[in-house]
Chains A and B, each alone.
Chain A
Amino acid sequence: MTLPSTLPAAVAAATPARPTRRRRRREPLTRALVYVVLIISLVVTLVPFVWMFLGSVKTEQELLRRPPTWWPETFTWDNFAAWFGRLDIGTFFFNSVVVAVFTVLGTLLFCSMVGYALAKLEFPGKRVLFTLVLVTLMIPGVVTFIPLFVVVSKLGLVSTYPALILPFLAGPLGVFLMRQFIREIPDSLIEAARIDGASEARIFLGVVMPLCKPALATLSILTFLGSWNNFLWPLVVAQTEDMYTLPVALSLYSVGQNATNYGVLLAGSVLVITPVLLLFLALQRYFVQGIAVTGIK
């Protein structure tokens, strides 16, 4: 039988393994060609990022020059200074963090609880509930968008944190992920705890949750990312400036009467992207697992 430590079979299977065909000999020329093509593709893929970082420290005149310059001629922090001066980035950043953190915590709690019920407990309506969850995975966001706005405005929640957090706690993806993962835990472990007289709450917190760490890590990252980058819903329900999240602020300063200059926008993009990019670099293993397991970003 599987040991608890080797438990997360689905994740383990999806973890990028060492390639199996390493021993096969290849012509050096072919391999060099593959490297060249890959490096060119990588450069093309990353150019927008490089350009963004370099552009954020250029002056506005240099950004408007044609043809565009590559390396900044005059180095300036003015674009970042604008965000820390007149554009109140502290508030936007704080809002983004609060919304993302509470969305993650709520999602972890709700999804692991219902995931446990769906995976290991028996109750009438279980199959119906799971099918419903699967169906909602396919429902386009715009279908629920309007009634959701009506609900939120009737509850008087427009421009509040709950409006930005609550609708995202019941994500079907999280339920699916947790249910699939908890199913892999051997029943015998849970039965043993039950025979020892552990309460269901204890079994859940003391036996199931510790074994779910990889799934919880994956779910946290995917949820955090979704929340951090989410902008359509916040754009609609965060109607006062003190409730803007970073992407909302950035999109509102991109166009219209509040439009600010291009260098400032690039600096804003850097400020939005850098935290997730760092998070991704630090935790990329979990990103990869999450995608391979769920098939969804």
Chain B
Amino acid sequence: MTSRSLPVASGVRSGGHGPAAQRRRRALVAYVFALPFLVSFAVFMVYPLLSSLAMSFTDFRSTDIPNPFAVGFVGFEQYVALFQNPQFVRSLLNTFYFVGVGIPLTMAVALALALALNNGITRFRAAFRVGFYAPVVTSIVAVAVVWRFILQPDGLLNVVLGAFGITGPDWLNDPNWSMPAMIMLAVWRNMGTLMIIFLAGLQGIPGDVLEAASVDGAGAWNRFLRITLPMLRPTLLLGAVLLSVGFLQFFEEPFVMTKGGPLDSTLSISYFVFNQFGFGNYGVASAASYVLFVAIALLSIVQFRAFRTKD
């Protein structure tokens, strides 16, 4: 599988066999280059993808692994059952809650940071950028150890809130506050990525346009509203869609912080799938994962639109 052993030199050496033969040889060379990827892509991506689609129409359970062809075909039964399963519906609603609140919040924070770094200051820009980006590179498991402590009833956050006279809730054990806690963690972990994307976008806005507006007497707020924001639209849209693909798969935060609780208040679609996998209900899990896939696919259509308007 090393590239050194590629028998690809023949394509050029014997050029005298007409264009068709040469094209064939070129194609062969290309396939040799693509082969290592194609094999692993087929085994670890395409096959699992198709097999989970197939599984979603069967009552496949973990006990069927030794004999996969003995399972019963149940058609769309599991999909129908899913939407009648209150726990799955709850996980759908939770995921939408997380996406609906988390994305605008992350974007607002990231945009504010990007604007401040780009226009507001002249020094220590790189240091700030590194600091705000640091949460992105860290392991969620390690981060969870710290955040579980910060979010305890008498933890760091509530101590700080207490200094302002606010009695903080028991974040991780109160069904009303567990999701806001997850969102807080997600904003912290994801704002750095978006900040970098927005910074790149801001630097694409020509300075003289803003200068001209400034000369014409437009205030900072007006310049932001009428120039920066419209010119940043493709970048904002890109950021929003990228974030949606990630946020819809929301799983790690509750997995390490709340185990989906309390009372399923942080159970996401991905988490529901993972639990069904744990119970051995592979068919149900596959069906649920395809519901999630459809949701993301709908959003990815938006993404391709976003890319197109950018060109």
Contacts and interface: CB of A to CB of B under 8 A. Distances in A.
Contact of B270 (A51, A140, A296): A140
Given A143-B290, A154-B65, A194 B27 contact: no
Contacts of A150: 51, 65, 68, 282
Interface residues of B, number: 108
Given A19-B203, A144-B48, A199-B12, A67 B37 contact: no
B40 A169 contact: yes
A48 B147 contact: yes
Given A140-B270, A262-B149, A292-B197, A146 B139 contact: no
A114 B120 contact: no
State which size class the interface on A falls in.
Answer: 35 or more
Contacts of B6: 200-201
Given A140-B270, A144-B49, A109 B132 contact: no
B289 A143 contact: yes
Interface stretch (A1-9, A87-95, A121-129, A211-219): A121-129
Given A45-B131, A199-B8, A143 B49 contact: yes
Would you call the interface of chain B mostly helix, strand, loop, or mixed? helix
B262 interface: no
A43 B6 CA distance: 54
Determine which residue in B31, B122, B138, B155 has the highest number of CB atoms from chain A within 10 A of its CB, and name it. B138
B132 to A, nearest CB: 6
B211 A144 contact: no
Interface string B5-49: 010110111000000000100110111011011101101111111
B176 interface: no
Determine which residue in A38, A146, A198 has the highest number of CB atoms from chain B within 10 A of its CB, and name it. A146
Contacts of A19: 118-119, 122, 125, 203
Nearest to A67: B159
B47 A194 contact: no
A167 B45 CA distance: 8
B121 A295 contact: no
24 contacts: A19-B122, A20-B207, A24-B211, A37-B116, A42-B131, A67-B154, A126-B30, A129-B34, A135-B300, A139-B49, A140-B292, A140-B296, A142-B292, A150-B51, A151-B43, A170-B40, A199-B8, A200-B33, A229-B139, A232-B274, A250-B141, A268-B142, A272-B141, A295-B197
Interface of B: 2-4, 6, 8-9, 11-13, 23, 26-27, 29-31, 33-34, 36-38, 40-41, 43-49, 51-52, 55, 65, 68, 113, 116-122, 125-126, 128-147, 149-150, 154-156, 159, 188, 193, 196-197, 199-200, 203, 206-207, 210-211, 214, 238-239, 242, 245, 248-249, 251-252, 255-256, 270, 273-274, 277, 282, 285-286, 289-290, 292-293, 296-297, 299-300, 303
